[in-house]
């Protein structure tokens, strides 16, 4: 992989407090550096899921210290690899990936994630499709499983914001 220049600063959406969309701001902040078992992703697309909406309202089930970057899933290209990533880190270098993160989120130009949270994308999958390929499918699988356990054959999804 030819090294990609990594800027010092990036644009990121931050959540200043858990008061909804009015607490979101676009700011400049340092580009994170990948730590052990992490990769740095140049983010191309990030989804906005109901889980993200609940998170910025403080109703998701956990809160991160603010300010924090929201965005549970997205996609992009791995441009740097931290230490102790082993074969998987070397494989992911330069690859397009779908990813989730437990650190600052993906509503930023760059994000770090652990190697096991970065999924290589097939060439037939666009980065926009990749950005929606983790959270929503798992939600659908869980809903179908719950419906089957309850003896139901239909699932309806609604949300109130």
* CATH code of residue 115: 3.90.180.10
For the chain, 161 residues long, give each residue's pLDDT as a single digit of tens.
677 899 999 999 999 999 999 999 999 999 999 999 999 999 999 999 889 999 999 999 999 999 999 999 999 999 999 999 999 999 999 999 999 998 899 999 999 999 999 999 999 999 999 999 988 788 778 888 988 999 998 887 775 55
Structural domain contains residue 154:
no
pLDDT reported for residue 53: 94
- Tokens 């999958």 correspond to 125
Structural domain contains residue 157:
no
| Catalytic center residues | 60
- Other Cβ atoms less than 10 A from the Cβ of 97: the count is 22
Structural domain for 57, as ranges: 9-149
pLDDT reported for residue 115: 97
Structural domain contains residue 21:
yes
Q: Closest by alpha carbon to 120, among 149, 96, 104, 91?
A: 96
Q: Closest by alpha carbon to 42, among 90, 16, 74?
A: 74
* C-alpha span between 35 and 21 (Å, rounded): 30
- Quote the pTM value: 0.88
Structural domain contains residue 139:
yes
Q: Closest by alpha carbon to 81, among 36, 121, 30?
A: 36
Structural domain total, the chain: 1
DSSP 70: -
């Amino acid at each position: 992989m030819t090294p990609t220049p990594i800027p010092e600063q990036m644009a990121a959406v931050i959540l200043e407090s858990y008061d909804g969309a009015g607490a979101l701001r676009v700011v400049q902040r340092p580009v994170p550096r990948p730590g052990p078992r992490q990769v740095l992703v140049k983010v191309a697309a990030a989804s906005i899921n109901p889980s993200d909406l609940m998170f910025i309202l403080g109703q998701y089930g956990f809160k991160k210290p603010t300010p924090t970057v929201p965005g549970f899933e997205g996609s992009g290209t791995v441009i740097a690899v931290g230490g102790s990533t082993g074969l998987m880190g070397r494989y992911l270098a330069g690859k397009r990936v779908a990813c989730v993160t437990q650190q600052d989120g993906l509503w930023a130009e760059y994000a770090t994630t652990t190697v096991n949270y970065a999924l290589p994308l097939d060439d037939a999958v666009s980065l926009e499709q990749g950005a929606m390929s983790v959270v929503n499918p798992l939600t659908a699988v869980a809903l179908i499983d719950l419906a089957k356990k309850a003896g139901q054959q239909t699932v309806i999804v609604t949300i109130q914001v």
